[in-house]
């Protein structure tokens, strides 16, 4: 079925009254601020557990990052798994990982209940450099320590499936999948309303008083009281929750959907899941059969998405020159909140005030997991949110943090490009040397000029360069055999 690109134009649920504002005073058990992925999931789960819930949204449902992304769903967090283990220990890291898997399962189940929703399966993380040893170590950690279904793809398979020599090894997540983000956020809004949640759009929060048993929320035209407040917003939480919003570094990510590319796309790219490089520079997948959805540029300030059309076109041309000139049908962007420690912010800030935020570079699974976890914490006493306590609120540095984030991002992308180009150059040099040696050996064989050593004379020792080259080839051969043999 053709995929709709509501990610570029996400709006309110078409089955509901358009942008109903809160215009009367209201008492509820739980008030959720923010009608994005996390906020709607909190509301759905709390309502299903019997609570009365109101959601306040300053603009409209899914207007920002929640409705504008590539829709990849897989386990894990933005923090590399090795760093996660180092920070909280192996046992807590396993529990956190299990929660992330439950979040992915939640999205799959929720999407399956949405009419017309089609899922595409599989996600592939590829390396810009020849990092077979790192790949093997990560595969072992994921499969043995974290019980995650993964496959190691050697270089030949990655390039056969993706149709480009740009990448080396890869990790395939067969249980990962993709959803249409705009369709999914609208589907969540519909599920929330059917569960009894009251959603008020165009209702910004003016002030919050979280003290006392009944918390007070003031909007431009009404007041609301609730036993619990859940701040499920992003970098746009604003003055009433400035302490939270200032812990997030705003990052704007830009993406495009190409015009139909016809048969040439299918002839070039065989893999139909999502593809992301290990450096976080490019993220893309095939949509609607013959289009590419591609995300690459990012800034720490807001800009018009139309500015980045040529940038994305150049990225596609650099990786897929066979596709020729590619025109863009849609361009869109959204701001995400990135935390200093690289993990989402989930938990209770003070009695009755909860936060579900910091999902930039985390994935849909984490927002779904946060929604479940907070609803169950409030209504059932589930205390697993405390697993996120080591990742407390940390100031993101304000304007200085934005500049630093931009410079670090530029440096990271530049170093990734240099490392990738150097890796491909070395690979080409090795291939050329192998061809040269083969030709020389064949010439010697045909001419019968192969030199012979007198009996008893030892073979001269190889040069240091030859020893290094032989060692490199032996390591690469062992890595390929391990991956091919399924030892990881």
Q: What share of the chain is helix, strand, coil (3-state, %, to 5)?
A: 45, 20, 35
Q: Quick one: 113 and 194 in the same domain?
A: yes
Domain shared by 286 and 230, yes or no: no
| Cα four-point dihedral sign 92, 93, 99, 101 | negative
User: In the beta sheet, which residues pair with residue 27?
Assistant: 225
Looking up residue 225, the CATH number of its domain turns out to be: 3.50.50.60
CA dihedral 177, 181, 187, 189 (to 10 degrees): 130
Residue 455 pLDDT: 54
pLDDT at 303 over 50: yes
Tell me the residue range of the domain where 221 lies.
1-117+180-247+340-396
Structural domains counted in the chain: 2
Q: What percent of the chain has pLDDT over 90?
A: 55
Do 3 and 102 share a structural domain? yes
The stretch 142-157 carries a mean pLDDT of 94
**Which residue matches tokens 């209504």?**
379
For residue 455, being part of any structural domain is answered with no
In a domain, 457, yes or no: no
Is the pLDDT at 409 greater than 70, yes or no? no
Shared-domain flag, residues 8 and 148? no
Q: What is the pLDDT of residues 223-261, one digit of tens each?
A: 999 999 999 987 777 667 777 777 888 888 899 999 999
CA distance 437 to 255: 46
The reported pLDDT for the residue numbered 478 is: 47
Q: Both tokens of residue 188?
A: 């969540």
> Looking at the structure, do residues 10 and 89 belong to the same domain, yes or no?
yes
Residue 467 belongs to a domain: no
Are both 273 and 372 inside the same structural domain? Answer: no
Supply the DSSP symbol for 246. Answer: T
User: Which of 82-91, 424-433, 437-446 has the least mean pLDDT?
Assistant: 424-433
pLDDT of residue 278: 81
330 in the same domain as 418: yes
Instruction: Give tens-digit pLDDT for 31-90.
Output: 999 999 999 999 999 999 999 999 999 999 988 878 878 899 999 998 889 999 999 999
Pairing of strands 198-200, 53-56: parallel
330 in a structural domain: yes
Does the residue 471 lie in any domain? Answer: no
Q: 295 and 214 in one domain?
A: no
Examine the pLDDT at 406 and tell me if it is beyond 60.
no
Hey, is 466 helix, strand or coil?
helix
Distance CA 417, CA 219 (A): 48
62 shares a domain with 26: yes
66 and 132 share one domain: no
Shared domain check, 212 and 135: no
Non-local CB neighbours of 432 within 8 Å, separated by 6+ positions: none
pTM, two decimal places: 0.78
CA 40 to chain centre: 20
**Residue 293: enclosing H or E segment and its boundaries?**
strand 291-299
């Amino acid at each position: 079925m053709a995929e709709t690109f509501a990610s570029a134009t996400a709006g309110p649920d078409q089955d509901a009254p358009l942008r109903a504002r809160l215009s009367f005073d209201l008492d509820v058990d739980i008030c959720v601020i923010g009608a994005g992925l996390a906020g709607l999931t909190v509301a759905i789960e709390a309502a299903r557990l019997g609570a009365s819930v109101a959601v306040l949204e300053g603009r409209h449902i899914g207007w920002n990052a929640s409705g504008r992304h590539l829709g990849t769903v897989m386990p894990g967090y933005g923090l590399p798994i090795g760093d996660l283990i180092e920070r909280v220990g192996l046992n807590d890291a396993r529990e956190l990982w299990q929660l992330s898997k439950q979040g992915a399962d939640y999205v799959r189940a929720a999407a399956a209940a949405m009419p017309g929703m089609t899922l595409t399966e599989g996600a592939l993380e590829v390396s810009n450099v020849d990092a077979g040893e790192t790949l093997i170590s990560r595969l072992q950690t994921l499969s043995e320590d974290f019980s995650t279904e993964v496959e190691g793809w050697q270089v030949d398979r990655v390039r056969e499936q993706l149709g480009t020599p740009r990448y080396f090894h890869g990790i395939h997540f067969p249980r990962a999948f993709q959803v249409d983000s705009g369709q999914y956020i609208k589907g969540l809004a519909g599920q929330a309303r059917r569960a009894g949640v009251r959603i008020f759009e165009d209702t910004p929060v003016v002030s919050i008083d979280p003290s006392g048993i009944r918390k007070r929320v003031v909007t431009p035209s009404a007041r609301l009281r609730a036993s619990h407040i859940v701040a499920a917003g992003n970098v746009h939480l604003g003055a009433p929750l400035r302490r939270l919003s200032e812990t997030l570094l705003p990052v704007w990510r830009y993406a495009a959907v190409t015009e139909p590319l016809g048969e040439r796309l299918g002839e070039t790219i065989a893999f139909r899941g999502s593809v992301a490089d290990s450096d976080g520079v490019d993220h893309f997948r095939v949509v609607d059969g013959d289009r590419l959805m591609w995300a690459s540029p990012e800034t720490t300030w807001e800009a018009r998405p139309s500015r980045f059309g040529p940038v994305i076109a150049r990225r596609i041309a650099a990786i897929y020159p066979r596709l020729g000139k590619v025109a863009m049908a849609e361009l869109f962007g959204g701001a995400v909140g990135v935390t200093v420690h690289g993990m989402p912010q989930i938990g209770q800030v003070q009695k009755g005030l909860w936060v579900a935020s910091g999902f930039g570079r985390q994935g849909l699974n984490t927002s779904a997991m946060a929604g479940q976890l907070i609803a169950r914490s409030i209504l059932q006493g589930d205390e697993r949110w405390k697993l996120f306590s080591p990742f407390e609120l940390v100031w993101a540095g304000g304007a200085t943090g934005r500049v630093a984030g931009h410079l670090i991002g530029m440096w990271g992308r530049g170093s990734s490009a240099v490392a990738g180009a150097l890796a491909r150059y070395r690979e080409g040099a090795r291939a050329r040397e192998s061809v040269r040696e083969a030709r020389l050996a064949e010439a010697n064989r045909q001419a019968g000029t192969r030199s012979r050593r007198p009996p008893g004379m030892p073979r001269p020792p190889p040069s240091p360069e030859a020893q290094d080259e032989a060692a490199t080839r032996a390591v690469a051969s062992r890595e390929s055999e391990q991956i091919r043999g399924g030892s990881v």
